[in-house]
A and B are shown apart, each in its own frame.
Chain A
Amino acid sequence: MEINEQIALDHGLKKDEFKKICELLKRTPNITELGIFSAMWNEHCSYKSSRLHLKKLPTKGKKVIQGPGENAGVIDIYDGDAIVFKIESHNHPSFIEPYQGAATGVGGIMRDVFTMGARPIANLNSIHFGSPQNKKTKNLLRGVVHGIGGYGNCMGIPTVAGQTSFDSSYNGNILVNAMTLGLVKKDKIFYSKAAGLNKPVIYVGSKTGRDGIHGASMASASFDEKIEEKKPTVQVGDPFTEKLLLEACLELMSGDSIIAIQDMGAAGLTSSSIEMASKGNLGIEINLNKVPCRESKMTPYEIMLSESQERMLIVLENGKEDLAKKIFDKWNLDFAVIGKTTNTKNIELYFDNKQVAQIPINTLVENSPMYDRKWKKAKLPKKNKIKKETLTKLNIKDVLKKILSHPNISSKEWIWQQYDHTVMGDTIQKPGGDSGVVRVHGTNKAVAATVDSSAVYCWAHPLTGGKQVVCESWRNLISVGATPIAITNCLNFGSPENEDNMGEFVECVQGIGEACEYLKFPVVSGNVSFYNQTKEVGIKPTPSIGGVGLIKNYNQMITMDFKEINNLVLIIGKTEGHIDQSLFARSILDEKNGPPPEINLFNEKNNGETLLQLINNNLIKSAHDISLGGTATAVSKMCIKGNKGFEFNKSNYLMSEIEYLFSEDQGRYIIEINPKDLKKVIEILEKNSVHFEELGKIIDKYMIINPMTKLTIDELKSYNTTWLDNYMSS
């Protein structure tokens, strides 16, 4: 087949990119080579629109063992233990085929983690759907939840936390971000950098089939009306094989046979072989006839571009082939020596005794395109002037009812009950809390993890929104008593070729960077998903932040449920009454404009660290950060979880009661303390110049907001816990 520009365009390459390929090769590529270029140069694999900006993120820190650039990031949690973690998107495939799309997203991220030698110990996810009224939403939600559960449950890894939101901007493009944490000994971490000449290159795992061909290219383009045609680009998952692969890999890793290992994820055999060779500054030679194939007559092009799941590529020490093969035989997995490392710095592919591709590796990696895309700076919107009467005429109970039963606030138990969250026997904080917490098996330590995003704030003002998401992650870790260590990010945006969307990306990244820098909360891994767009309409900018922290002694873990009647409740952080972009403004007043709440990084850091100090002094009985839905929502959740009531103190603030209860000012927490500790607590808060207020006390059965507004806990529960069940069964 003669390769021409049109074929290159059909592969998602641009005209000038095709020209550059021909220049680099000094000839026209053949079809296999063109396929390889298109797989390596697409947005998903090359980060060509984002690389320039991602460089600005802080990625170093005392606890960082491995930052971005590997299969996942690694942080130190003392005693020779390390946590490997990463978040990744599987948005495009999940919209086309929700069950398989979500399932393979979970499978892929777990593989990234155990490729590094870590046994996965916790899964999380951040999933976003269109408006509940959209006719596709219910089926997509059901399919995605079944897919996540189907894969994670079978693997036997607990899903311990997550986030779900609904917004009409996701009507045509849902988001499925999956995150995994794994545990490894610091001196047993495996990397993807090949080393040494003539080392055997081993293929293990499932056979290669025709599924997922061009999956990564599909995920690098917007959707249009021909979306159904893309179904064959979605991979099919087999969690059982992955469980075997996990056990087999960990068994092989306990010895010293492996030089480098890389999972075959996006762009399959192409990217895994090229990445390993590139990192080792080597060449690689593969005989494609040796690749175990599921279907007959697969062409080199198909073998190289298949995204069949549950496969790994390993560079082995010479002479270890038999030992390795024995282990994979025991687990009934395919094992084949398919090639070797070379000193040519080329990738050379052979099929039926003929060379079918020869490409210098640096043209695929270092010389891949990098764009400084045009972007537009966003202005901070003007504050709304909301009339006092508008607020005072509202009935507080009605407002609270609407907020608690809002799709984005209401309990997501229907979802997380379908995820096995207790397997492995170390889950000490289940989904539904501020963070999921798992013990480090056999120690007194525990690891806390949370995943957060605030698309509305990012949409209103990307710079502030970017900062806010990082801060929210930080607060969710602190609320359970964990010291925040590092984050992973999944950056979901529209088309980078659109100046507004690109601006959202650039400024969100800047905000994330500023907050991470200030909080000493570095980014150790992540992924970018552009083109979450159908025709001209993109999603709201949705960076998802996965935060990880450490609890040194798990008996000091904090939960959000109110514990004891007569205990006192304080708010840490100042309530200013910021209503714009709050759930209240958007859903009750139907006011969609205005700036998001301001972020003050000094206060964030100071308030958070002071709360940790209180927790370490055993002064805190329960804690919860204040986020979406404001103080009233936070207190309601603490009442519901603890099955206790609450009486607010008489108001002595200058704003309206509605503003006080539903504003979303940042940097705030609600804490429960024993009355006998009040003096000590106040002393510490004052010493650290932390603003606080005494909010009220815990009582039995009722939430009393003011003498006119009294609700039973059962009422609160029914507002908060029924929406999703009813929606899914209607």
Chain B
Amino acid sequence: MKSSVITFPGSNCDRDMDVALKKFGFNNKMVWHNDNELPKSDLVVLPGGFSYGDYLRCGSVASKSKIMNSVINFANSGGLVMGICNGFQILVETGLVPGVLLRNKYLEFICKNVFVKVDNKDNPYFKHLDKEILELHVAHNEGNYFCTDDQLKEIEDNSQIAIYYSNENGQTDEIDNPNGSTKNIAGIFNKRKNVLGMMPHPERMIDKYLSGDDGSLFFKNLIKNIK
């Protein structure tokens, strides 16, 4: 299975994603933001970091970089595109997924383990995953997902919400919402569910010596689904 990770100036989880994808069997290539063409890929990943310093709106400058035309075409033709953290912010800026990501509710960067409830398995990312609740890791300053009431109704009607922040039993109360996201939303799909944006970092949870190992389940399942 072939994957591509895009490196923008200021990306800093690109290597971590490369390590994770390779660990679980992807043949991964690093792709420079200024390139025109994507290599042949079964999965494209926009990694975390601070693309262009996040000096304008997070992800906004990166969403206009050269390679993104190719990524958008790839997504529109049904290719799998996953944006993690800053990658999610970039996806939102391209309009591939709805909504916006605001500054965290308590105005502070937050780095910690969270539980997420997987809401929807009718998609290439979570299909066949034999767990409903995953322990993942967040590290962000702007992860407060917001959308209008109309948008919310639409994404709920289309089952576009991928994961919710929850407690370890899958309850999605305010107390388990780390950043003030609408409805505890931690990740969403586009309508077709080939594009996934999420704040948590599965690539930081890929062996038992790290903060946890549930990222391994996610990647193992993902490559199985793509095969």
Binding site for B on A (CB under 8 A): 146, 149-150, 153-156, 238-241, 243-244, 331-332, 416-425, 427-428, 430, 439, 554-555, 557
- Whether the Cβ atoms of B111 and A419 lie closer than 8 Å is yes
Query: Which listed residue (A156, A418, A425, A439) contacts B109, Cβ 8 A?
Result: A418
- Is B10 on the interface with A (CB-CB < 8 A)? yes
Contacts A153-B139, A417-B111, A423-B204 given; does A240 touch B53 at CB 8 Å: yes
| Residues in A neighbouring B52, C-beta threshold 8 A | 240
- Is B19 on the interface with A (CB-CB < 8 A)? yes
- Whether the Cβ atoms of B204 and A425 lie closer than 8 Å is yes
Alpha-carbon distance between A194 and B87 when the two chains are bound, in angstroms = 42
- Whether the Cβ atoms of B10 and A423 lie closer than 8 Å is no
Shortest Cβ distance from B20 into A: residue: A425
Shortest Cβ distance from A152 into B: residue: B109
- Supplied contacts A332-B9, A420-B111, 6 more A-B pairs, CB within 8 Å: A153-B111, A417-B109, A420-B109, A422-B201, A425-B19, A439-B209
| Residues in A neighbouring B108, C-beta threshold 8 A | 146, 417-418
- Whether the Cβ atoms of A240 and B111 lie closer than 8 Å is no
| Residues in B neighbouring A146, C-beta threshold 8 A | 108
- Whether the Cβ atoms of B12 and A155 lie closer than 8 Å is yes
Alpha-carbon distance between A4 and B12 when the two chains are bound, in angstroms = 51
Alpha-carbon distance between A377 and B204 when the two chains are bound, in angstroms = 52
Chosen A-B contacts, 28 in total, with CB atoms closer than 8 Å, are: A153-B111, A153-B139, A156-B12, A156-B49, A241-B53, A243-B9, A243-B12, A243-B50, A244-B10, A417-B109, A417-B110, A418-B109, A418-B110, A418-B111, A420-B111, A421-B111, A422-B137, A422-B139, A422-B204, A423-B13, A423-B139, A423-B204, A424-B16, A425-B203, A425-B210, A428-B210, A554-B209, A557-B209
Binding site for A on B (CB under 8 A): 9-10, 12-13, 15-16, 19-20, 48-50, 52-55, 108-112, 137, 139, 141, 201, 203-204, 206, 209-211
* Distance from B4 Cβ to chain A, minimum over Cβ atoms (Å): 19
| Residues in B neighbouring A238, C-beta threshold 8 A | 53
- Whether the Cβ atoms of A239 and B50 lie closer than 8 Å is yes
Alpha-carbon distance between A660 and B38 when the two chains are bound, in angstroms = 67
Shortest Cβ distance from A149 into B: residue: B109
| Residues in B neighbouring A332, C-beta threshold 8 A | 9
Contacts A238-B53, A239-B53, A425-B206 given; does A156 touch B13 at CB 8 Å: yes
| Residues in A neighbouring B13, C-beta threshold 8 A | 156, 423
- Whether the Cβ atoms of A422 and B53 lie closer than 8 Å is no
* Distance from B40 Cβ to chain A, minimum over Cβ atoms (Å): 24
Query: Which listed residue (B15, B48, B201, B211) contacts A430, Cβ 8 A?
Result: B211
Alpha-carbon distance between A146 and B50 when the two chains are bound, in angstroms = 16
Query: Which listed residue (B10, B137, B209) contacts A428, Cβ 8 A?
Result: B209
| Residues in A neighbouring B49, C-beta threshold 8 A | 156
- Whether the Cβ atoms of B109 and A240 lie closer than 8 Å is no
Query: Which listed residue (B20, B53, B210) contacts A154, Cβ 8 A?
Result: B53
Shortest Cβ distance from A154 into B: residue: B50
Query: Which listed residue (B9, B55, B110, B209) contacts A244, Cβ 8 A?
Result: B9
Shortest Cβ distance from A157 into B: residue: B12
| Residues in B neighbouring A149, C-beta threshold 8 A | 109
Shortest Cβ distance from A419 into B: residue: B111
